């Protein structure tokens, strides 16, 4: 896993990612990316959203 957002910079929210290195089934020329969100606070994390990718 690689760090995308450090928990201090993200005010408790940390984001890590890794590449599966396996072909993405809809398009073999692409690779899937696993993204892990971790809430390092005791409060509930709200209003997270992921925007449409820009290819």
Q: List the structure tokens of 29.
A: 């020329």
Pairing of strands 13-24, 27-39: antiparallel
Report in angstroms the alpha-carbon separations of 35 from 14, 54.
10, 17
Per-residue pLDDT of the chain (55 residues), as tens digits, is 999 999 999 999 999 999 987 778 888 888 888 999 999 999 998 888 888 887 7
pLDDT for the residue numbered 34: 92
CB 34 within 8 A of CB 17: yes
pLDDT for the residue numbered 29: 82
How far, in Å, CA of 29 to CA of 23, rounded?
7
């Amino acid at each position: 896993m690689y760090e995308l957002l450090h928990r201090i910079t993200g005010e408790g929210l940390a984001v890590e990612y890794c590449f599966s290195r396996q072909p993405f089934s809809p398009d073999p020329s692409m690779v899937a990316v696993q993204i892990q969100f971790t809430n390092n606070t005791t409060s509930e994390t709200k209003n997270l959203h992921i925007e449409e990718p820009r290819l």
